[in-house]
Amino acid sequence: MSYEILGVWVAAFFTLCIFSFLYRDNFFYKLAEHIFVGISAGYGVALQIENVLKPNLLKPLFQEGKMILIIPFILSALLFSRLYSKISWLSRWALALLIGIFSGAAIIGFGSGDLVLQINANLLPLKTNSFLTTFNNFILTFGLITCLLYFFFSKEHKGGFGFIARIGIYFLMISFGASFGYTVMSRMSLLIGRVYFIFGQWLGIIQ
Amino acid sequence: MQKFFEFISQLDRRIIFIFVALAIILPLIFPLNIKFTVTEPVRGFYDAIEKVPNGSKVLFACDFEPGSLPELYPMTYAALEQMLKKDLKIIALSLWPAGPPLAEKALTDMAQNEFKKTYGVDYVNLGFKEGREVVMVSMGSSIPNTFPQDYRGTKVSQIPIMQGVNNFKDVKLIVNISAGYPGTKEWVQQVQARYNIGLVSGCTAVSAPEYYPYYQSKQLLGLLGGMKGAAEYEILVNRIGLGRRGMDAQSMAHVIIFLFIVLGNLAYLSLKKKGT
């Protein structure tokens, strides 16, 4: 038996183990779940060491002599101080740096990529040569305004304001419905993939 | 009718599972060939790649893992086929730990086996790098410094395809296949907006509603949403993959779920009216 065939049988076995949960929780499901978690964790650690730690830090620092990398090396080492309660506060320096860098990158990215450009993209003409474009632009603008008003909490949602805010809820519900539909589609695709594997690659019924 | 609604309201969920399973298995074994049309975002994806001059370098970000394969692998293969037909030089990478072996398999199947391309000359797999948005920002300064070696351990400076590639200005397009975070949203925020480079995305259906505003604002030139997007794209590329094969099953499963939702709600309303 070649490794490829063995791999297909192992994958089929674990797929069926996971599917068995649809009937009820059982030993085979738990077995597959625990093996998956263990392998994922092991793979993650090995990958970080081989793909990140060695080529980006250890090799350039200790083999190529790039001494500037001693700074990230020390900061990385400080993260492990969390294992010792007396000096665990040292890990905060490295964490502070990480949080600062990620926050900075995320804020700049959100500001320039999302906020400004998305507001710009929603400033649409309400009078165009095409009826459908005008209609679409009107729906988008009206929906945007009503949704924004729904999230305006400085005034009680009553009377005319409450009515508009209520329309905003309907727009939100429609978007939640669309998201739910896409989620169903996504989950069905995953199931199709597994069924295709079982009846195609494993059993050979689907060509 | 009342008895039927009572039966529906107490239906064992496993019966529903059987119906859904049949709705998926039967169309896969006996195809129905349900017809569907190509939508605008999918055509945008195809056109964006077609517009790239032949022989240019493109960045292929495979930000996914095995959990999303049924949705994202069909579009990965189809995108590779379109790019390789145009003789585009593919620089693949991943910001997801389990992404590189999947990208490697797709590249080997398509570039090496089907199109007889040479590794390092026509395509390269730079592998995974931890750091998410920070990796993207770092690539803006220097791709070789961010990825000093490829997935196979070769130094980037020794790989022919990487000669002359320093940052995003040296690639014509970014093709992102995204399963979530980090993925399309981050490529838009950190790279497309900052470096004004063309970006197309193939994503899971769950993520698609979040990314459509980026298509509407032209930050994304094209968008493939889930297996349906992949199926439409396969039509344009003239390829029969899991996307097209799975559409019958997808449609039938949706019909079954729709019927159960309607029946469930009717049963609920009927019993509520009766005060049961």
Q: Return the pLDDT at B148.
A: 87
Give per-residue pLDDT as tens, B197-247: 999 999 999 999 999 999 999 999 999 999 999 999 999 999 988 899 899
pTM for the full predicted model: 0.89
Closest residue on chain B to A193 (Cα): B70
State how far residue A189 is from chain B, nearest Cα, in angstroms.
Answer: 6
C-alpha dihedral sign at B60, B61, B65, B68: negative
Domain ranges of chain B: 2-30+250-275, 40-239
Cβ-based contacts of B254 with chain A (< 8 Å)? 184-185, 188
How does DSSP classify residue B117?
Answer: P
Chain B contact for A163 (CB, 8 A cutoff): no
Amino acid at B22: L
Residue A103 has pLDDT above 70, yes or no: yes
Q: Do A183 and B206 touch (CB under 8 A)?
A: yes
Write phi, then psi, for A66 (nearest 5 degrees).
-80, 90
Report the greatest alpha carbon distance in chain A. 75
Q: State how far the alpha carbon of B251 is from the alpha carbons of B205, B227, B248, in Å.
A: 14, 11, 5
Distance (Å, whole) CA B152 – CA B133 = 24
Place of tokens 């804020």: A107
Residue A188: closest CA among chain B residues belongs to which residue? B250
pLDDT at position A112 is 83
CATH topology of domain B40-239: Rossmann fold (3.40.50)
pLDDT at residue B192 in the model: 92
- Choose the mutation target among B12, B133, B189, B190 for the interface with A, i.e. most A CBs under 10 Å: B189
Q: Which residues of A touch B205 (CB under 8 A)?
A: 182-183, 185-186, 189
Q: Which of residues 130-169 of B touch A (CB under 8 A)?
A: 130, 132-134, 137, 148-149
Q: Hey, is the C-beta of B254 within 8 angstroms of any chain A C-beta?
A: yes
Helices assigned H by DSSP within chain B: 2-9, 13-29, 40-51, 69-85, 99-107, 133-141, 143-146, 184-186, 193-195, 208-216, 226-237, 242-274
- The token duo for B196 is 């004004």
- What mean pLDDT comes out for the span A4-20? 95
The average pLDDT across A72-91 equals 92
pLDDT digits (tens, 9 = 90+) for A116-170: 999 998 899 998 999 999 999 999 999 999 999 999 999 899 999 999 999 999 9
CB-CB under 8 Å, B134 with A101: yes
Burial class (CB in 10 A: 0-12, 13-18, 19+), B13: exposed
Q: Each residue of A164-187: pLDDT tens digit?
A: 999 999 999 999 999 999 999 999
**Which pLDDT score is estimated for A90?**
94
pLDDT of residue B225: 95
Minimal CA–CA distance to A151: which of A140, A141, A161?
Answer: A161
Q: What integer pLDDT is reported at residue A137 of this predicted model?
A: 93
pLDDT means per 10 residues, chain B with 276 residues, are 86 94 94 91 97 97 93 96 97 93 96 96 93 91 91 92 95 96 94 92 95 94 96 94 91 95 92 77
The ipTM is 0.89
pLDDT of residue A102: 87
